[in-house]
Structure 1
Amino acid sequence: MKKILSLLALLLSALMLTGCEDMNFKEGIVVAGGKYVEAHTLNKGKQIYMEYCMACHGVKGDGKGVASKGLFPPPRNFTLGIIKFGDVASGDLPHDEAIYKFLKHGLNGTAMLPWDLQPGQMEAVWDYIKTFAPQAWIGEDKKLGEQILASNDPYGLARKSSAIERGREVYHAVANCQACHMAYATPDEYKAIAKKINNEDVTEIDPEMYKIKMQESEHGYKTMPPDFTWDRVRSANNVEDIYLRLAAGIGGTTMPSWKGTLEDNDIWAAAYYVQSLIDMRNTPARDALWVAIFGEQK
Protein backbone atom coordinates (compact mmCIF):
# COMPACT_ATOMS: atom_id res chain seq x y z
CA MET A 1 0.00 0.00 0.00
CA LYS A 2 2.86 2.38 0.81
CA LYS A 3 4.31 1.84 -2.65
CA ILE A 4 0.94 2.60 -4.23
CA LEU A 5 0.53 5.77 -2.17
CA SER A 6 4.07 6.87 -3.01
CA LEU A 7 3.43 6.32 -6.70
CA LEU A 8 0.18 8.28 -6.52
CA ALA A 9 2.00 11.11 -4.78
CA LEU A 10 4.60 11.19 -7.53
CA LEU A 11 1.93 11.18 -10.19
CA LEU A 12 0.01 14.01 -8.56
CA SER A 13 3.18 16.05 -8.16
CA ALA A 14 4.05 15.57 -11.80
CA LEU A 15 0.56 16.52 -12.91
CA MET A 16 0.63 19.67 -10.81
CA LEU A 17 3.93 20.69 -12.33
CA THR A 18 2.78 20.19 -15.88
CA GLY A 19 -0.92 20.98 -15.66
CA CYS A 20 -0.40 24.70 -16.10
CA GLU A 21 1.81 24.50 -19.17
CA ASP A 22 0.52 26.30 -22.23
CA MET A 23 -1.02 24.18 -24.93
CA ASN A 24 1.48 25.45 -27.44
CA PHE A 25 0.35 23.93 -30.73
CA LYS A 26 -0.77 26.82 -32.92
CA GLU A 27 -0.81 25.03 -36.26
CA GLY A 28 -1.68 21.58 -37.49
CA ILE A 29 0.83 19.09 -38.88
CA VAL A 30 0.96 16.38 -41.53
CA VAL A 31 2.01 12.99 -40.19
CA ALA A 32 2.97 9.74 -41.88
CA GLY A 33 0.38 8.49 -44.32
CA GLY A 34 -0.61 12.03 -45.35
CA LYS A 35 -2.91 12.55 -42.37
CA TYR A 36 -3.46 16.18 -41.35
CA VAL A 37 -3.80 16.68 -37.60
CA GLU A 38 -5.30 19.96 -36.43
CA ALA A 39 -3.73 21.98 -33.62
CA HIS A 40 -6.69 21.54 -31.28
CA THR A 41 -6.38 17.75 -31.65
CA LEU A 42 -2.70 17.90 -30.73
CA ASN A 43 -3.47 20.07 -27.71
CA LYS A 44 -6.19 17.67 -26.62
CA GLY A 45 -3.76 14.78 -27.07
CA LYS A 46 -1.14 16.56 -25.00
CA GLN A 47 -3.61 17.02 -22.15
CA ILE A 48 -4.54 13.32 -22.24
CA TYR A 49 -0.87 12.32 -22.42
CA MET A 50 -0.03 14.40 -19.35
CA GLU A 51 -2.84 12.74 -17.42
CA TYR A 52 -2.39 9.11 -18.45
CA CYS A 53 1.07 8.61 -19.96
CA MET A 54 3.56 11.18 -18.72
CA ALA A 55 4.28 9.58 -15.34
CA CYS A 56 5.96 6.60 -17.01
CA HIS A 57 6.89 7.86 -20.48
CA GLY A 58 8.10 11.28 -19.34
CA VAL A 59 7.32 14.87 -20.27
CA LYS A 60 9.58 14.58 -23.31
CA GLY A 61 8.31 11.12 -24.29
CA ASP A 62 11.75 9.62 -23.66
CA GLY A 63 10.58 6.90 -21.26
CA LYS A 64 12.09 8.66 -18.25
CA GLY A 65 9.00 9.61 -16.29
CA VAL A 66 9.00 9.80 -12.50
CA ALA A 67 7.34 6.37 -12.26
CA SER A 68 9.71 4.68 -14.73
CA LYS A 69 12.45 3.77 -12.29
CA GLY A 70 12.67 0.03 -11.71
CA LEU A 71 10.17 -0.87 -14.41
CA PHE A 72 11.09 -3.71 -16.75
CA PRO A 73 10.62 -3.54 -19.57
CA PRO A 74 11.28 0.20 -19.41
CA PRO A 75 8.53 2.49 -20.71
CA ARG A 76 8.78 3.06 -24.45
CA ASN A 77 11.04 5.88 -25.60
CA PHE A 78 8.79 7.57 -28.16
CA THR A 79 11.55 9.92 -29.34
CA LEU A 80 13.17 7.03 -31.21
CA GLY A 81 10.19 6.62 -33.51
CA ILE A 82 10.43 2.82 -33.21
CA ILE A 83 7.27 0.84 -32.53
CA LYS A 84 7.59 -2.74 -31.30
CA PHE A 85 4.10 -4.04 -31.97
CA GLY A 86 2.65 -2.46 -35.08
CA ASP A 87 1.19 -5.16 -37.36
CA VAL A 88 3.55 -4.00 -40.10
CA ALA A 89 6.93 -5.38 -41.08
CA SER A 90 9.46 -4.79 -38.32
CA GLY A 91 10.92 -1.30 -38.70
CA ASP A 92 7.99 0.20 -40.62
CA LEU A 93 5.61 2.80 -39.20
CA PRO A 94 2.31 1.31 -38.02
CA HIS A 95 -1.24 2.30 -38.85
CA ASP A 96 -3.13 4.01 -36.03
CA GLU A 97 -5.52 1.09 -35.47
CA ALA A 98 -2.67 -1.19 -34.36
CA ILE A 99 -1.72 1.26 -31.61
CA TYR A 100 -5.31 1.76 -30.47
CA LYS A 101 -5.45 -1.98 -29.79
CA PHE A 102 -2.66 -1.72 -27.21
CA LEU A 103 -4.00 1.50 -25.71
CA LYS A 104 -7.28 -0.34 -25.16
CA HIS A 105 -5.94 -3.69 -23.97
CA GLY A 106 -2.49 -2.87 -22.57
CA LEU A 107 0.54 -5.16 -22.69
CA ASN A 108 0.54 -8.35 -20.62
CA GLY A 109 2.93 -8.52 -17.70
CA THR A 110 4.00 -4.87 -17.93
CA ALA A 111 3.08 -1.53 -16.39
CA MET A 112 1.27 -0.65 -19.64
CA LEU A 113 -2.32 -0.96 -18.47
CA PRO A 114 -5.55 -1.00 -20.47
CA TRP A 115 -6.87 2.55 -20.69
CA ASP A 116 -10.56 3.40 -20.85
CA LEU A 117 -10.24 5.99 -23.60
CA GLN A 118 -12.82 6.88 -26.20
CA PRO A 119 -11.83 6.55 -29.90
CA GLY A 120 -11.36 10.31 -30.26
CA GLN A 121 -9.14 10.39 -27.19
CA MET A 122 -6.98 7.52 -28.45
CA GLU A 123 -6.56 9.23 -31.80
CA ALA A 124 -5.62 12.55 -30.18
CA VAL A 125 -3.08 11.14 -27.73
CA TRP A 126 -1.44 8.94 -30.36
CA ASP A 127 -1.19 11.85 -32.80
CA TYR A 128 0.43 13.90 -30.03
CA ILE A 129 2.89 11.09 -29.23
CA LYS A 130 4.04 11.18 -32.85
CA THR A 131 5.37 14.71 -32.27
CA PHE A 132 8.06 13.28 -29.98
CA ALA A 133 9.75 11.75 -33.05
CA PRO A 134 9.32 14.28 -35.88
CA GLN A 135 12.18 12.68 -37.80
CA ALA A 136 10.09 9.53 -38.15
CA TRP A 137 6.51 10.76 -38.20
CA ILE A 138 6.11 14.34 -39.38
CA GLY A 139 6.08 15.33 -43.03
CA GLU A 140 4.28 14.54 -46.25
CA ASP A 141 7.17 12.27 -47.26
CA LYS A 142 6.69 9.89 -44.33
CA LYS A 143 5.07 6.59 -45.29
CA LEU A 144 3.22 3.97 -43.29
CA GLY A 145 4.18 0.33 -43.62
CA GLU A 146 2.02 -2.18 -45.43
CA GLN A 147 -0.51 -3.44 -42.92
CA ILE A 148 -0.20 -7.14 -42.13
CA LEU A 149 -3.57 -8.79 -41.60
CA ALA A 150 -4.31 -12.29 -40.44
CA SER A 151 -4.99 -14.60 -43.37
CA ASN A 152 -7.58 -17.35 -43.16
CA ASP A 153 -6.59 -19.91 -40.55
CA PRO A 154 -5.85 -23.07 -42.56
CA TYR A 155 -6.13 -25.33 -39.51
CA GLY A 156 -8.86 -24.34 -37.07
CA LEU A 157 -9.91 -26.43 -34.10
CA ALA A 158 -10.52 -29.48 -36.29
CA ARG A 159 -6.83 -29.67 -37.23
CA LYS A 160 -5.33 -28.13 -34.11
CA SER A 161 -3.21 -31.20 -33.28
CA SER A 162 -1.76 -31.27 -36.80
CA ALA A 163 -1.01 -27.56 -36.57
CA ILE A 164 0.84 -27.98 -33.27
CA GLU A 165 2.91 -30.88 -34.60
CA ARG A 166 3.87 -28.99 -37.76
CA GLY A 167 4.53 -25.87 -35.69
CA ARG A 168 6.91 -27.83 -33.49
CA GLU A 169 8.88 -28.75 -36.60
CA VAL A 170 8.84 -25.17 -37.93
CA TYR A 171 9.96 -23.81 -34.57
CA HIS A 172 12.93 -26.17 -34.18
CA ALA A 173 14.08 -26.95 -37.73
CA VAL A 174 12.76 -24.30 -40.14
CA ALA A 175 12.74 -20.96 -38.31
CA ASN A 176 15.22 -22.21 -35.67
CA CYS A 177 13.53 -20.15 -32.98
CA GLN A 178 15.77 -21.71 -30.33
CA ALA A 179 18.59 -19.47 -31.60
CA CYS A 180 17.05 -16.71 -29.46
CA HIS A 181 14.36 -18.39 -27.38
CA MET A 182 14.92 -21.97 -26.21
CA ALA A 183 14.21 -25.43 -27.54
CA TYR A 184 11.22 -27.32 -26.17
CA ALA A 185 12.06 -30.69 -27.73
CA THR A 186 14.14 -33.26 -25.89
CA PRO A 187 17.52 -34.04 -27.47
CA ASP A 188 16.16 -37.22 -29.06
CA GLU A 189 13.06 -35.40 -30.33
CA TYR A 190 15.20 -32.62 -31.77
CA LYS A 191 17.40 -35.13 -33.60
CA ALA A 192 14.30 -36.77 -35.08
CA ILE A 193 12.88 -33.42 -36.22
CA ALA A 194 16.20 -32.37 -37.78
CA LYS A 195 16.38 -35.67 -39.67
CA LYS A 196 12.79 -35.45 -40.90
CA ILE A 197 12.80 -31.80 -41.97
CA ASN A 198 16.40 -31.18 -43.04
CA ASN A 199 17.72 -34.73 -43.51
CA GLU A 200 20.35 -33.75 -40.96
CA ASP A 201 22.07 -36.27 -38.72
CA VAL A 202 22.60 -34.43 -35.45
CA THR A 203 25.17 -36.23 -33.33
CA GLU A 204 25.83 -33.60 -30.67
CA ILE A 205 23.34 -31.32 -28.95
CA ASP A 206 24.45 -27.78 -28.19
CA PRO A 207 23.36 -27.07 -24.59
CA GLU A 208 22.90 -23.40 -25.51
CA MET A 209 19.74 -24.31 -27.39
CA TYR A 210 18.05 -24.86 -24.04
CA LYS A 211 18.89 -21.36 -22.79
CA ILE A 212 17.19 -18.01 -23.35
CA LYS A 213 19.66 -15.60 -24.96
CA MET A 214 19.74 -11.87 -24.20
CA GLN A 215 19.39 -9.85 -27.40
CA GLU A 216 20.56 -6.42 -28.49
CA SER A 217 17.89 -3.91 -29.47
CA GLU A 218 17.48 -0.41 -30.87
CA HIS A 219 15.52 0.66 -27.79
CA GLY A 220 18.53 1.42 -25.61
CA TYR A 221 18.43 -1.79 -23.58
CA LYS A 222 18.86 -5.52 -24.10
CA THR A 223 15.78 -7.66 -24.44
CA MET A 224 15.07 -11.12 -23.07
CA PRO A 225 12.97 -13.35 -25.36
CA PRO A 226 10.21 -15.04 -23.38
CA ASP A 227 10.15 -18.62 -22.21
CA PHE A 228 6.70 -19.34 -23.58
CA THR A 229 5.93 -21.89 -20.86
CA TRP A 230 6.86 -19.48 -18.07
CA ASP A 231 6.65 -15.80 -19.07
CA ARG A 232 3.63 -13.82 -20.15
CA VAL A 233 3.65 -12.90 -23.82
CA ARG A 234 3.15 -9.16 -23.84
CA SER A 235 1.41 -8.53 -27.13
CA ALA A 236 -0.60 -11.71 -27.76
CA ASN A 237 -3.68 -13.27 -26.21
CA ASN A 238 -4.64 -15.91 -28.77
CA VAL A 239 -3.41 -17.80 -31.84
CA GLU A 240 -4.32 -15.00 -34.24
CA ASP A 241 -2.36 -12.46 -32.18
CA ILE A 242 0.66 -14.77 -32.22
CA TYR A 243 0.32 -15.21 -35.99
CA LEU A 244 0.41 -11.43 -36.43
CA ARG A 245 3.43 -11.08 -34.17
CA LEU A 246 5.33 -13.80 -36.06
CA ALA A 247 4.31 -12.37 -39.43
CA ALA A 248 5.19 -8.78 -38.54
CA GLY A 249 8.11 -9.23 -36.17
CA ILE A 250 8.92 -6.86 -33.32
CA GLY A 251 10.26 -3.44 -34.24
CA GLY A 252 13.73 -2.51 -33.03
CA THR A 253 14.58 -6.04 -31.91
CA THR A 254 16.13 -9.18 -33.38
CA MET A 255 12.66 -10.70 -33.86
CA PRO A 256 12.23 -10.54 -37.66
CA SER A 257 9.15 -10.38 -39.82
CA TRP A 258 8.51 -13.93 -41.04
CA LYS A 259 5.94 -12.85 -43.61
CA GLY A 260 7.34 -13.76 -47.02
CA THR A 261 10.11 -15.89 -45.50
CA LEU A 262 7.97 -18.70 -44.14
CA GLU A 263 4.97 -20.18 -45.89
CA ASP A 264 1.80 -18.67 -44.47
CA ASN A 265 0.56 -22.08 -43.34
CA ASP A 266 3.80 -22.54 -41.41
CA ILE A 267 3.39 -19.19 -39.65
CA TRP A 268 -0.05 -20.34 -38.52
CA ALA A 269 1.38 -23.70 -37.45
CA ALA A 270 4.12 -22.00 -35.43
CA ALA A 271 1.47 -19.78 -33.83
CA TYR A 272 -0.52 -22.84 -32.76
CA TYR A 273 2.63 -24.42 -31.35
CA VAL A 274 3.60 -21.31 -29.38
CA GLN A 275 0.04 -21.10 -28.03
CA SER A 276 0.31 -24.72 -26.90
CA LEU A 277 3.47 -23.80 -24.98
CA ILE A 278 1.74 -20.79 -23.42
CA ASP A 279 -1.13 -23.05 -22.37
CA MET A 280 1.34 -25.15 -20.36
CA ARG A 281 2.10 -22.24 -18.05
CA ASN A 282 1.48 -23.18 -14.39
CA THR A 283 0.33 -26.70 -15.28
CA PRO A 284 1.68 -30.22 -14.62
CA ALA A 285 2.29 -30.51 -18.37
CA ARG A 286 4.88 -27.77 -18.10
CA ASP A 287 6.62 -29.54 -15.22
CA ALA A 288 6.61 -32.82 -17.17
CA LEU A 289 8.17 -31.12 -20.20
CA TRP A 290 10.87 -29.58 -18.05
CA VAL A 291 11.68 -32.92 -16.42
CA ALA A 292 11.83 -34.60 -19.84
CA ILE A 293 14.37 -32.03 -21.05
CA PHE A 294 16.43 -31.31 -17.93
CA GLY A 295 15.60 -34.12 -15.53
CA GLU A 296 14.24 -31.65 -12.97
CA GLN A 297 11.56 -28.99 -12.57
CA LYS A 298 12.29 -25.31 -13.00
Structure 2
Amino acid sequence: MRGEHLITVANNRVKFKLNIRRNLTILQGNSATGKTTLLELIDQFDQLGPDSGVSVVCDAPCHVLSGRNWKRNLKEISSSIVFIDEDSAFMRSHEFAHAARESDNYYVLVARESLPQLPYSVDEIYGLKNTNRATTKYPVYSRIYTSTYRIYGEQSFSGQRPELVIVEDSNSGYEFFSALCLKSGIPCVSAKGKSNIYSTILASNATSFLVIADGAAFGPEMEAVYALTRLKNIELFLPESFEWLVLSSGLFNDTEMREMLEHPADFIDSERFFSWESFFTDALIQKTKDTYLAYRKKELNREYLKERAASAIEATLPSLGFNAS
Protein backbone atom coordinates (compact mmCIF):
# COMPACT_ATOMS: atom_id res chain seq x y z
CA MET A 1 0.00 0.00 0.00
CA ARG A 2 1.25 3.46 -0.82
CA GLY A 3 0.11 7.05 -1.27
CA GLU A 4 -1.78 9.58 0.83
CA HIS A 5 -5.35 8.80 1.83
CA LEU A 6 -7.97 11.33 2.90
CA ILE A 7 -10.53 9.89 5.30
CA THR A 8 -13.84 11.59 6.09
CA VAL A 9 -15.96 10.04 8.84
CA ALA A 10 -19.30 11.59 9.78
CA ASN A 11 -22.70 11.14 11.33
CA ASN A 12 -25.35 13.75 12.08
CA ARG A 13 -23.40 15.12 15.06
CA VAL A 14 -19.73 15.03 14.19
CA LYS A 15 -17.41 15.00 11.21
CA PHE A 16 -13.75 13.93 11.16
CA LYS A 17 -11.17 14.59 8.47
CA LEU A 18 -7.77 12.90 8.49
CA ASN A 19 -5.04 12.73 5.89
CA ILE A 20 -2.99 9.54 6.30
CA ARG A 21 0.33 9.53 4.48
CA ARG A 22 2.44 6.81 6.11
CA ASN A 23 1.96 3.27 7.31
CA LEU A 24 2.19 4.36 10.96
CA THR A 25 0.21 7.31 12.30
CA ILE A 26 -0.18 8.10 16.00
CA LEU A 27 -3.16 9.94 17.51
CA GLN A 28 -2.50 11.50 20.90
CA GLY A 29 -4.03 14.31 22.89
CA ASN A 30 -6.33 15.01 25.80
CA SER A 31 -9.51 13.18 26.69
CA ALA A 32 -12.81 14.24 25.11
CA THR A 33 -11.22 15.27 21.80
CA GLY A 34 -12.97 12.52 19.85
CA LYS A 35 -10.39 9.78 19.39
CA THR A 36 -12.62 7.02 20.76
CA THR A 37 -15.66 8.41 18.95
CA LEU A 38 -13.76 8.29 15.67
CA LEU A 39 -12.99 4.59 16.08
CA GLU A 40 -16.52 3.79 17.22
CA LEU A 41 -17.98 5.40 14.09
CA ILE A 42 -15.58 3.56 11.79
CA ASP A 43 -16.42 0.26 13.48
CA GLN A 44 -20.16 0.93 13.23
CA PHE A 45 -19.86 1.61 9.52
CA ASP A 46 -17.66 -1.46 9.06
CA GLN A 47 -20.30 -3.65 10.73
CA LEU A 48 -23.53 -2.12 9.41
CA GLY A 49 -22.62 -0.01 6.41
CA PRO A 50 -24.99 2.89 5.58
CA ASP A 51 -27.59 1.47 8.00
CA SER A 52 -25.32 2.61 10.83
CA GLY A 53 -26.06 6.25 10.08
CA VAL A 54 -22.34 6.76 9.59
CA SER A 55 -20.54 7.81 6.44
CA VAL A 56 -16.92 6.77 5.83
CA VAL A 57 -15.37 8.12 2.64
CA CYS A 58 -11.89 6.93 1.70
CA ASP A 59 -10.19 5.35 -1.30
CA ALA A 60 -9.04 2.47 0.96
CA PRO A 61 -11.10 0.24 3.27
CA CYS A 62 -11.04 1.29 6.94
CA HIS A 63 -11.27 -1.20 9.81
CA VAL A 64 -10.96 -1.21 13.59
CA LEU A 65 -8.81 -3.99 15.07
CA SER A 66 -9.45 -5.10 18.64
CA GLY A 67 -9.96 -8.08 20.92
CA ARG A 68 -8.06 -11.25 21.66
CA ASN A 69 -8.56 -12.56 18.12
CA TRP A 70 -6.65 -9.64 16.61
CA LYS A 71 -4.02 -11.87 14.95
CA ARG A 72 -6.61 -13.96 13.14
CA ASN A 73 -8.60 -10.90 12.13
CA LEU A 74 -5.53 -9.03 10.91
CA LYS A 75 -4.62 -11.86 8.55
CA GLU A 76 -7.90 -11.21 6.73
CA ILE A 77 -7.20 -7.48 6.28
CA SER A 78 -5.15 -6.27 3.33
CA SER A 79 -4.44 -2.91 1.67
CA SER A 80 -6.52 -1.17 4.31
CA ILE A 81 -6.24 1.51 6.96
CA VAL A 82 -6.43 -0.19 10.35
CA PHE A 83 -7.39 1.77 13.47
CA ILE A 84 -6.47 0.53 16.96
CA ASP A 85 -7.57 2.11 20.23
CA GLU A 86 -5.23 2.61 23.17
CA ASP A 87 -7.04 0.08 25.37
CA SER A 88 -5.86 -2.73 23.06
CA ALA A 89 -2.83 -4.03 24.95
CA PHE A 90 -1.58 -6.07 21.99
CA MET A 91 -0.70 -2.81 20.21
CA ARG A 92 2.31 -2.46 22.55
CA SER A 93 3.65 -5.95 21.86
CA HIS A 94 6.52 -7.02 19.64
CA GLU A 95 4.15 -9.62 18.22
CA PHE A 96 1.94 -6.87 16.83
CA ALA A 97 4.97 -4.96 15.53
CA HIS A 98 6.04 -8.07 13.61
CA ALA A 99 2.54 -8.64 12.23
CA ALA A 100 2.25 -5.01 11.13
CA ARG A 101 5.67 -5.16 9.49
CA GLU A 102 4.63 -8.23 7.48
CA SER A 103 1.36 -6.69 6.30
CA ASP A 104 0.55 -4.21 3.53
CA ASN A 105 -1.76 -2.04 5.64
CA TYR A 106 -1.53 1.46 7.06
CA TYR A 107 -2.12 1.77 10.82
CA VAL A 108 -3.62 4.60 12.86
CA LEU A 109 -2.83 4.00 16.52
CA VAL A 110 -4.47 5.85 19.39
CA ALA A 111 -1.71 5.94 22.00
CA ARG A 112 -0.90 8.54 24.63
CA GLU A 113 2.28 6.70 25.61
CA SER A 114 5.17 6.02 23.26
CA LEU A 115 5.38 2.74 21.35
CA PRO A 116 9.12 1.94 21.27
CA GLN A 117 8.69 -1.25 19.26
CA LEU A 118 7.40 0.72 16.25
CA PRO A 119 9.48 3.05 14.02
CA TYR A 120 7.04 5.92 13.55
CA SER A 121 7.91 9.42 12.42
CA VAL A 122 7.91 12.57 14.54
CA ASP A 123 5.88 14.12 11.71
CA GLU A 124 3.06 11.59 12.06
CA ILE A 125 2.15 12.19 15.71
CA TYR A 126 -1.13 14.09 15.74
CA GLY A 127 -3.78 15.42 18.04
CA LEU A 128 -7.42 16.07 17.20
CA LYS A 129 -8.80 19.58 17.30
CA ASN A 130 -12.49 20.44 17.39
CA THR A 131 -14.12 23.42 15.72
CA ASN A 132 -17.75 24.09 16.55
CA ARG A 133 -19.12 25.82 13.48
CA ALA A 134 -22.70 26.13 14.62
CA THR A 135 -24.18 29.35 15.89
CA THR A 136 -24.74 29.70 19.62
CA LYS A 137 -28.48 29.96 18.93
CA TYR A 138 -28.82 26.20 18.46
CA PRO A 139 -26.06 24.58 20.56
CA VAL A 140 -27.91 21.28 20.98
CA TYR A 141 -27.81 20.63 17.26
CA SER A 142 -24.30 21.88 16.70
CA ARG A 143 -22.02 19.83 14.51
CA ILE A 144 -18.38 19.42 15.48
CA TYR A 145 -15.76 19.36 12.74
CA THR A 146 -12.64 17.54 13.84
CA SER A 147 -9.29 17.56 12.07
CA THR A 148 -5.71 16.78 13.01
CA TYR A 149 -2.75 18.90 14.01
CA ARG A 150 0.86 17.87 14.47
CA ILE A 151 1.90 17.51 18.10
CA TYR A 152 5.48 18.47 17.19
CA GLY A 153 5.50 21.28 14.67
CA GLU A 154 8.29 22.67 12.55
CA GLN A 155 11.58 23.11 14.38
CA SER A 156 13.35 26.47 14.31
CA PHE A 157 17.08 27.00 14.75
CA SER A 158 18.88 29.88 16.41
CA GLY A 159 22.14 29.45 14.50
CA GLN A 160 24.05 29.55 17.78
CA ARG A 161 27.08 27.34 18.18
CA PRO A 162 26.27 24.26 20.32
CA GLU A 163 28.68 23.03 22.97
CA LEU A 164 27.99 19.42 22.02
CA VAL A 165 26.52 17.67 18.99
CA ILE A 166 24.85 14.31 19.62
CA VAL A 167 24.20 12.09 16.60
CA GLU A 168 21.82 9.16 16.84
CA ASP A 169 24.04 6.34 15.59
CA SER A 170 27.61 5.54 14.61
CA ASN A 171 27.06 4.86 10.91
CA SER A 172 27.59 7.03 7.84
CA GLY A 173 25.52 9.92 9.16
CA TYR A 174 27.67 10.16 12.27
CA GLU A 175 30.85 10.07 10.18
CA PHE A 176 29.64 12.98 8.08
CA PHE A 177 28.53 15.17 10.98
CA SER A 178 31.60 14.23 12.99
CA ALA A 179 33.78 15.52 10.15
CA LEU A 180 31.68 18.69 9.95
CA CYS A 181 32.05 19.23 13.69
CA LEU A 182 35.79 18.58 13.56
CA LYS A 183 36.13 21.31 10.94
CA SER A 184 34.15 23.65 13.20
CA GLY A 185 35.89 22.63 16.42
CA ILE A 186 32.69 21.35 18.05
CA PRO A 187 32.69 18.10 20.06
CA CYS A 188 30.51 15.40 18.47
CA VAL A 189 29.47 12.10 20.01
CA SER A 190 27.37 9.15 18.93
CA ALA A 191 24.49 8.13 21.19
CA LYS A 192 24.82 4.62 19.71
CA GLY A 193 21.11 4.36 19.13
CA LYS A 194 18.09 6.65 19.28
CA SER A 195 16.95 5.25 22.63
CA ASN A 196 20.22 6.46 24.19
CA ILE A 197 19.88 10.13 23.23
CA TYR A 198 17.96 11.04 26.39
CA SER A 199 20.56 9.50 28.71
CA THR A 200 23.44 10.96 26.66
CA ILE A 201 22.06 14.45 27.20
CA LEU A 202 21.58 13.88 30.92
CA ALA A 203 25.11 12.50 31.32
CA SER A 204 26.75 15.53 29.69
CA ASN A 205 27.94 18.69 31.42
CA ALA A 206 27.41 20.74 28.27
CA THR A 207 24.98 23.65 28.48
CA SER A 208 23.82 23.68 24.85
CA PHE A 209 23.14 20.73 22.56
CA LEU A 210 22.37 19.97 18.95
CA VAL A 211 20.71 16.57 18.57
CA ILE A 212 20.69 15.01 15.10
CA ALA A 213 18.50 11.97 14.56
CA ASP A 214 16.45 10.29 11.84
CA GLY A 215 13.03 11.88 12.18
CA ALA A 216 11.42 9.09 10.15
CA ALA A 217 11.73 6.70 13.11
CA PHE A 218 12.31 9.00 16.09
CA GLY A 219 8.67 9.22 17.16
CA PRO A 220 8.92 6.85 20.16
CA GLU A 221 11.74 8.93 21.69
CA MET A 222 10.28 12.33 20.95
CA GLU A 223 8.16 12.91 24.06
CA ALA A 224 11.00 12.27 26.51
CA VAL A 225 13.65 14.18 24.56
CA TYR A 226 11.30 17.06 23.80
CA ALA A 227 10.53 17.38 27.52
CA LEU A 228 14.25 18.00 28.13
CA THR A 229 14.13 21.05 25.86
CA ARG A 230 12.17 22.80 28.63
CA LEU A 231 15.07 22.21 31.03
CA LYS A 232 18.14 22.44 28.81
CA ASN A 233 19.21 24.41 25.76
CA ILE A 234 18.59 21.74 23.12
CA GLU A 235 17.91 22.06 19.42
CA LEU A 236 16.58 19.04 17.55
CA PHE A 237 17.48 18.52 13.91
CA LEU A 238 15.31 15.64 12.72
CA PRO A 239 15.45 15.17 8.94
CA GLU A 240 13.87 12.02 7.56
CA SER A 241 17.32 10.42 7.60
CA PHE A 242 20.89 11.17 6.58
CA GLU A 243 20.21 9.38 3.30
CA TRP A 244 17.29 11.74 2.68
CA LEU A 245 19.65 14.68 3.17
CA VAL A 246 22.04 13.26 0.58
CA LEU A 247 19.23 12.64 -1.91
CA SER A 248 17.92 16.18 -1.31
CA SER A 249 21.33 17.79 -1.81
CA GLY A 250 21.09 18.16 -5.58
CA LEU A 251 23.83 15.61 -6.26
CA PHE A 252 21.20 13.60 -8.16
CA ASN A 253 19.01 16.31 -9.64
CA ASP A 254 16.83 14.38 -12.09
CA THR A 255 13.07 14.49 -12.64
CA GLU A 256 12.32 11.17 -10.97
CA MET A 257 14.33 12.11 -7.89
CA ARG A 258 12.55 15.46 -7.57
CA GLU A 259 9.15 13.80 -7.85
CA MET A 260 10.09 11.18 -5.27
CA LEU A 261 11.29 13.79 -2.78
CA GLU A 262 8.21 15.95 -3.31
CA HIS A 263 5.72 13.07 -3.01
CA PRO A 264 7.48 10.22 -1.18
CA ALA A 265 4.24 8.54 -0.10
CA ASP A 266 3.48 7.74 -3.74
CA PHE A 267 6.75 5.83 -4.07
CA ILE A 268 7.05 4.01 -0.74
CA ASP A 269 5.46 0.55 -0.58
CA SER A 270 4.50 -0.04 3.07
CA GLU A 271 4.78 -3.81 2.71
CA ARG A 272 8.40 -3.55 1.60
CA PHE A 273 9.50 -0.60 3.74
CA PHE A 274 8.20 -0.43 7.30
CA SER A 275 9.71 3.04 7.75
CA TRP A 276 10.61 5.82 5.33
CA GLU A 277 14.14 5.72 6.72
CA SER A 278 14.74 2.28 5.18
CA PHE A 279 13.23 3.43 1.87
CA PHE A 280 15.57 6.41 1.55
CA THR A 281 18.54 4.20 2.44
CA ASP A 282 17.59 1.75 -0.30
CA ALA A 283 16.94 4.58 -2.77
CA LEU A 284 20.40 6.07 -2.19
CA ILE A 285 22.12 2.69 -2.44
CA GLN A 286 20.37 1.93 -5.72
CA LYS A 287 20.95 5.43 -7.11
CA THR A 288 24.70 5.33 -6.48
CA LYS A 289 25.37 1.66 -7.24
CA ASP A 290 28.53 1.16 -9.33
CA THR A 291 29.39 4.88 -9.20
CA TYR A 292 32.11 6.78 -7.38
CA LEU A 293 29.44 7.84 -4.86
CA ALA A 294 28.40 4.26 -4.06
CA TYR A 295 26.71 4.51 -0.67
CA ARG A 296 27.27 2.22 2.29
CA LYS A 297 25.21 2.55 5.46
CA LYS A 298 27.81 1.16 7.85
CA GLU A 299 30.82 3.08 6.57
CA LEU A 300 30.76 6.40 4.75
CA ASN A 301 32.27 6.50 1.30
CA ARG A 302 35.10 9.08 1.56
CA GLU A 303 33.77 10.82 -1.55
CA TYR A 304 31.00 12.30 0.59
CA LEU A 305 33.62 14.14 2.64
CA LYS A 306 35.24 15.74 -0.39
CA GLU A 307 34.42 19.30 -1.39
CA ARG A 308 31.74 18.74 -4.06
CA ALA A 309 29.54 16.28 -2.17
CA ALA A 310 30.15 17.70 1.31
CA SER A 311 29.32 21.24 0.21
CA ALA A 312 26.14 20.09 -1.53
CA ILE A 313 24.93 18.25 1.58
CA GLU A 314 25.93 21.07 3.92
CA ALA A 315 23.98 23.53 1.78
CA THR A 316 20.75 21.65 2.55
CA LEU A 317 21.19 22.10 6.31
CA PRO A 318 19.40 24.82 8.26
CA SER A 319 21.40 27.21 10.44
CA LEU A 320 22.71 24.68 12.96
CA GLY A 321 25.60 26.74 14.33
CA PHE A 322 28.48 24.87 12.71
CA ASN A 323 29.89 28.10 11.30
CA ALA A 324 29.06 30.31 14.28
CA SER A 325 31.89 31.70 16.37
Query: TM-score, length-normalised on structure 2?
Result: 0.30
Kindly indicate which of the two structures has a greater share of residues assigned to helix: 1
Kindly indicate which of the two structures has a greater share of residues assigned to strand: 2
Query: TM-score, length-normalised on structure 1?
Result: 0.32
